[in-house]
Copies of this chain bind each other. A is one copy, B any other.
């Protein structure tokens, strides 16, 4: 399958590598077609890897991973272009974290979330919020923590897109019974606001290899 991965940071590179390993074809998108980090990734990733602008990558991908920085995600998606994303599933892994005060603060909160903002601004795409609650390494290798015995969430308005997301998560190594469908895209608030706790836990426990397991 053809994927766009928007963003060249550790999350973008980690997901793009995983997709290549799984046999998919990936174009990594960034502001410019000659982004050095994207080119370095593609050179290392082999013949199924390519680079382009946000718009070129979005047009290329049948499914789009949003791995941009949360505070600039809407701007990046505007550059990707609504027409290039129309009807497609966007897997939104981002957190609108504001580090300007020195302490990470959830920049979109209360009665809104970044997932909802993206869905509102691009009504013809199918946004699925997922993977934002774990670190980049764990996203594509849940077994790094306790053999995968912890939960991951999906939120979105489109059942078919959430089903695609679940299949992808399973291919990444997530056990299907550990994937919790929280509900529509407004439930992204929960997944995003939880990150405020995750960050403090990571600091207190001295590791980012943590995740929650829902206990009943």
Tell me if A105 is interfacial: C-beta within 8 Å of chain B. yes
Stretch from A39-47, A167-175, A197-205 that touches the partner: A197-205
Q: How far is the CB of A112 from chain B (nearest CB, A)?
A: 9
Q: Give every chain B residue within 8 A of A149 (Cβ-Cβ).
A: 215
Interface residues of A: mostly helix, strand, loop or mixed? mixed
Tell me the smallest distance from the CB of A101 to a CB of chain B, in Å.
7
**A148-168 Cβ-contact flags toward B at 8 Å (1 or 0):** 011001000000000000000
Instruction: Tell whether, in the assembled complex, residue B215 and residue A215 are in contact, meaning their CB atoms are under 8 Å apart.
Output: no
Complex Cα–Cα for A213 and B210 (A): 10
Which candidate, A30-38, A72-80, A184-192, is the interface stretch facing chain B? Answer: A184-192
Known pairs A187-B204, A213-B213. 19 more at Cβ < 8 A? A105-B110, A106-B109, A106-B110, A107-B110, A145-B215, A180-B204, A182-B197, A182-B200, A183-B204, A187-B200, A190-B196, A190-B200, A190-B201, A193-B193, A193-B197, A201-B214, A205-B214, A209-B216, A212-B212
